[in-house]
Amino acid sequence: MTEPEAVRLYRTVRLIRRFEERAIDLVRSGAIVGGIHPYLGQEGVAAGVCGALRADDIVAGTHRGHGHVLAKGADPARMLAELCGRANGLNRGRGGSMHAADFGVGVYGANAIVGASGAIITGAVWALRRRGGDQVGVSFFGDGAVNEGMLLEAFNLAALWRVPVIFVCEDNGYATTMPVDSAVAGTVAGRAEAFGIRSTLVDGQDPEAVRDATAAAVDRARASGAPELIEARTYRFDAHHTFEHAVRLDYRDPAEVTRGRSRDPVTIQGDRLPDEVRERVDTEIEDLLAGAVEFALAGPEPDPAGALDHLYASGLVARTGSH
């Protein structure tokens, strides 16, 4: 891997890490209402996968979606403004954390329904290719989602109709509090194989490994049209959601958490760079995020009179709920 790519990957994991930490601060200060599902610890997956995509390739993510949206190139300032519900946010304050989308950079949205992105991205990629493009698409989902029937139906459609979708399972070991061992019969890869989909197991904590595995999968998929599955083993450093601390859920052995946190994708990638390069990137990101926080907090609140703007693309105006 050339040096600039290593730097690029580091920049992405570091950006996502610091973005998430800022966002958690903003949840605590009350600027972000409703909380977030932190991506801390899983940055290597989004960075590695999106690092192997072209700008016009498309992705769709999950409720834990900040990393996917940022890694694909959305503006962190507008993303943060979206989390704060501001009119200058990516979605004009209509989506928030779980629906952040930026069609301009190929992000068909974070999606709060577990397993929902697989079929949507399959249809979207099919359409782009029918229109003459050679894009691939990525559907991100967790280990919990592999028990959703619709996702497995999507595997079947993508394989049958030769739609180049990279199904990326981020196996962080838990679906909220449910350990993967108690939830998934057989294996994630086995489910892909049942549909004739080639699968690759990768260390999700190593951004370069994820990038290499994805680049190979993307090359194959783009050329052949066949979907691929990447199972990235990763670890969620923090709570399922920022409200988890309030309810004090007890489901992970502290020793396991310590072990999991010891393999940090930001450190792993950072250690590959000379100190001065890493420090330069860190400074760049601090400046960028300071500006982003300022931009988000200064953003105007959306006008309540327009609460149902954009409900209908056709311009239909809904009846109001009262006189």
Partner 1 sequence: MPRLSYLKALNRALGDELARDDDVFLLGEDIRVGASNVTAGLFKRFGPDRVLDTPLSEQAFTSFATGAALAGMRPVIEFQIPSLLFLVFEQIVNHAHKFPLMTGGQCAAPVTYLVPGSGSRTGWAGQHSDHPYSLFAHVGITTVVPATPADAYGLLVSAIRHDDPVVVFAPAGALGVRADVDFAALAPVPLGVGAVRRAGTDVTVVAVGHLVHDALAVADDLAGTVSVEVFDPRTLYPFDWDGLAASVTRTGRLVVVDDSNRSCGIAGEIIATLAERGVPLAAPPARVTRPDGAVLPFAQALDRAVQPSREQLTAAIHHVTKDG
Ligand X SMILES: Cc1ncc(C[n+]2csc(CCOP(=O)(O)OP(=O)(O)O)c2C)c(N)n1
Amino acid, res. 171: D
Q: Are 260 and 40 in contact (CB under 8 A)?
A: no
Q: How far is CA 308 from the centre of its chain?
A: 27
Q: Which residue number, 82 or 228, has a Cβ lying nearer to partner 1?
A: 82
DSSP string, 216-271: HHHHHHHHH---EEEEEE----S-SSTTHHHHT---S-HHHHHHHHTS-HHHHHHT
Site string for partner 1, 124-143 (x = CB under 8 A): xxxxx-xx------------
**Which residue carries 């139906």 as its tokens?**
153
Is 122 a binder of partner 1 (CB under 8 A)? Answer: yes
Q: Which residue number, 171 or 203, has a Cβ lying nearer to ligand X?
A: 171
The minimum distance between CB 303 and ligand X, in angstroms, equals: 29
Q: Which residue number, 9 or 165, has a Cβ lying nearer to partner 1?
A: 165
- Judged by beta carbon distances under 5 to 8 A according to partner kind, the member of ligand X, partner 1, none in contact with residue 52 is none
Using CB under 8 A as the binding rule, the residues of this chain from 147 to 166 that contact partner 1 are: 149-150, 153-154, 156-157, 160-161
Q: Are 72 and 21 in contact (CB under 8 A)?
A: no
How many Cα atoms occupy the beta-carbon half-sphere of 194 within 13 Å? 12
Backbone angles phi, psi at 281, to 5 degrees: -60, -45
Is 176 a binder of ligand X (CB under 6 A)? Answer: yes
Q: Pick from 113, 246, 308, 311 the residue near ligand X by CB under 6 A.
A: 113
Stretch that binds ligand X, among 5-13, 28-36, 48-56, 174-182 (CB under 6 A): 174-182
The minimum distance between CB 142 and ligand X, in angstroms, equals: 2
Q: Pick from 126, 174, 195, 295 the residue near ligand X by CB under 6 A.
A: 174
- Judged by beta carbon distances under 5 to 8 A according to partner kind, the member of partner 1, ligand X, none in contact with residue 150 is partner 1
Is 299 a binder of partner 1 (CB under 8 A)? Answer: no
Residue 35 region by backbone torsions, left for phi larger than 0, else alpha for psi between -120 and 50, else beta: left
Q: Which residue number, 108 or 174, has a Cβ lying nearer to ligand X?
A: 174
Is 79 a binder of partner 1 (CB under 8 A)? Answer: no
CA distances from 60 to 11, 16, 212, 227, 231 (A): 21, 17, 20, 15, 16
Is 68 a binder of partner 1 (CB under 8 A)? Answer: no
CA distances from 282 to 5, 18, 169, 276 (A): 16, 9, 29, 10
Amino acid, res. 150: M
Q: Which residues bind partner 1 (CB under 8 A)?
A: 58, 89-95, 99, 101-104, 108-109, 111, 113, 116, 118-128, 130-131, 149-150, 153-154, 156-157, 160-161, 308-316, 318
Contact residues toward ligand X (CB under 6 A) are 62-64, 112-114, 141-145, 148, 172, 174-176, 240
